[in-house]
Amino acid sequence: MYQNRYNSNRSNNRPSYGGSSRYPRRQNSGYGNQARKSSLGNNISLFIKKAEPLMEEVGENVTHTSFNDFEIIDALKQNILAKGYDVPTPIQDQAIDPILEGRDLIGLANTGTGKTAAFLIPLINKIYKDRTQGALIVVPTRELAVQILEEFRSLTLDMKISSALAIGGSNLERQIRDVKRVPHVVIGTPGRLKDLIERRALDLSDYSTFILDEVDLMVDIGFIADVKYFVSLLPEVRQSLFFSATISPKIQEIIRIFVNDPVTISVKTTDTSKNIDQDVVLVENGAKKIEQLHDLLIKDGFDKVLIFGRTKRGVETLNRELETRGFRVGAIHGNKTQGYRQRILQSFKQDEIQILLATDVAARGLDIPNVSHVINYELPETYEDYIHRIGRTGRAGKVGSALTFVSR
């Protein structure tokens, strides 16, 4: 545990992003107070696990050793290669063929294992071969919708397959125009999609493939009624795909209402990725907690850090404090405009800022390369939230670190 190594005196050798010894202190700032009690309590054992050595492995049941092994068109193979994808991940290896065959599918895999490409690749192949096909992709957060759209557009380069984004916080009139053109693929969040349907701009009968990503979060945050509404408007004959890192028995039972004879694929061996080093930091609440966070952030190796808080207000307060201390930091949460959130995310991806602060929903499903550390400054509400949080590091086969602040 980190209570000995990281409670030592602060080093005088500070990098420029860590501020200086003259940074103003705020006593009794109360950053450790939580608006809601986490159901995890202080069960330290949940947050401690050493990363296992990375090994180059080829599983016994691997069917495809390259994307050339799939029955997909050459133009798509070229775009896959241009993105630097070579060997399919386990979820891609097992999911692409059933989707190409038109089967309904429930896919379960650890976050960061390529679920997005697992459904986009066969979807793009399907649409390219039959331009009358259309797909609706529903996700819980705006950032995830934008991320999927970016992936989709890179995989469809020069293939003339149209797409539209339907999310809150962006220009409604433009989105109305976009969806009225009946693009091949619409990617959106439930609230904006429902709004477009009610305005008679979006007709779901045009979309015979239904994809729901981050299923567990969709259910947890109350979108299941909206999902049922969308399903009622979709064609009776359709293909339904559901992907998530976690699916409880209750959620799986609900999912099966929407699918017909689905293929269920699970490539999870553990709850969390094996290549994430997990540990705890024993902390004192109040002013000492921010000091301990500061001491972490100025240490070597904390190059790209994602910090999670529980509330929008708490994240914003911590953002202001870290800015005062001289850190390059940004925050995303529900009170920020969509444009602002995208700019901050881009700055973090491009290493223009060192630290990104976020609430659980704002960062769900984000694929940000080379995150060195995830810090749970406040405990997540559930263990499933913890899994998703720490899954932002240790991606694409790299080793990552996750630290959870736990009160003494």
Q: Measured between alpha carbons, how far is 398 from 51 in angstroms, rounded to an integer?
A: 11
Q: Which pLDDT score, from 0 to 100, does residue 224 have?
A: 82
Angle, alpha carbons 369-143-382 (nearest 5°): 85
CB 301 within 8 A of CB 314: no
Q: Which pLDDT score, from 0 to 100, does residue 365 have?
A: 67
Dihedral (Cα; 336, 339, 343, 345), 10-degree rounding:
60
Q: Which pLDDT score, from 0 to 100, does residue 3 have?
A: 47
Q: Which pLDDT score, from 0 to 100, does residue 8 have?
A: 39
* pLDDT tens profile 65-123: 899 999 999 999 999 999 999 899 899 999 999 999 999 999 887 666 788 999 999 99
CATH number of 5-53+275-407: 3.40.50.300
Burial 286-323 (b: 16+ CB within 10 A, else e): eeebbebbbbbbbeeebebbbbbbbbbebbbbbbebbe
CB 200 within 8 A of CB 209: no
Pinpoint the residues of the chain covered by CATH 3.40.50.300: 5-53+275-407, 67-266
- Give Cα 119 distance to the centre of its chain: 15
Q: Which pLDDT score, from 0 to 100, does residue 364 have?
A: 67
Q: What is the 3-state secondary structure (H, E, C) of 219-255?
A: HHCCCHHHHHHHHHHCCCCCEEEEEECCCCHHHHHHH
Q: Which pLDDT score, from 0 to 100, does residue 150 have?
A: 94
Instruction: Write out the H or E segment, with its range, that includes residue 108.
Output: strand 105-108
CB 43 within 8 A of CB 280: no
**In this structure, CATH architecture of domain 67-266:** 3-Layer(aba) Sandwich (3.40)
Block mean pLDDT (10 aa), the chain, length 408:
44 37 35 48 70 47 86 97 91 95 88 86 97 95 91 97 94 96 97 97 96 82 85 94 77 79 79 78 84 95 95 94 96 86 91 94 74 93 83 80 89
Structure tokens at 28: 């009794």
Q: Which pLDDT score, from 0 to 100, does residue 46 have?
A: 72
Task: Name the residue type at position 265.
Answer: I
pTM of the model: 0.71
Q: Which pLDDT score, from 0 to 100, does residue 14 have?
A: 37
Query: In the chain, how many H helices and how many E strands?
Result: 13, 13
Q: Which pLDDT score, from 0 to 100, does residue 61 have?
A: 61
Q: Which pLDDT score, from 0 to 100, does residue 11 have?
A: 40
Residue with tokens 């995150």: 371
Q: Measured between alpha carbons, how far is 365 from 103 in angstroms, rounded to an integer?
A: 24
Q: Which pLDDT score, from 0 to 100, does residue 37 have?
A: 53
